[in-house]
Amino acid sequence: MKRPVRFRVNGRPVSLDTERDRTLLWVLRGDLGLTGTKFGCGVGACGSCTVVVDGKAVRSCQASLNDVQGREVVTIEGLAREGTLHPLQQAFIDHGALQCGYCTPGMLMNAYALLALNPRPVPEAIEKAMEDNLCRCGAYMRILVAIAAVSREGGRP
């Protein structure tokens, strides 16, 4: 049944007249054209579709519009502000924490949620928080180094 769904994406209000059981991932990628959020597995096992909802990392392939009604969604497109990269984005570039780049948006959003919750996580806490995001190219070591570099600097909320 169609009922208007209202939420915020990257600081902007969104109102959609659509079915509320639709999956957030496809609404982001389709209706809203935010293709930075990636489909990887469809069962919440890889983390490439991770977005942040009210400060928490969420697998957008497992979330429906019902789950975000009235909430604040941040996607990879919302991480940089006015052309200035978020420290995590800069750290991923500086430390070579990506290869094919397909898992990168999910990695960054997961790390962003971690630092929002805990701005100075110890390496063990970073590893634990990132554990369920998969990178097939094998950039794990550099991803952890990049996040730790931002963690030491206190991150940015």
Residues that bind another protein (CB under 8 A): 22-23, 26, 29-30, 33-43, 45-46, 48, 75-77, 79-80, 85, 89-90, 92-94, 96, 98-105, 108, 127, 130-144
Tokens representing 143 are 């991803």
Under a CB-based contact definition with an 8 Å cutoff, are residues 65 and 48 in contact?
A: no
Min CB(126)–another protein separation in Å: 9
- The Cα 14–Cα 12 span in angstroms is 6
Which residue type, as a one-letter code, is found at position 146? A
Choose between 7 and 103: whose C-beta lies nearer to another protein.
Answer: 103
Min CB(92)–another protein separation in Å: 5
- The Cα 101–Cα 66 span in angstroms is 30
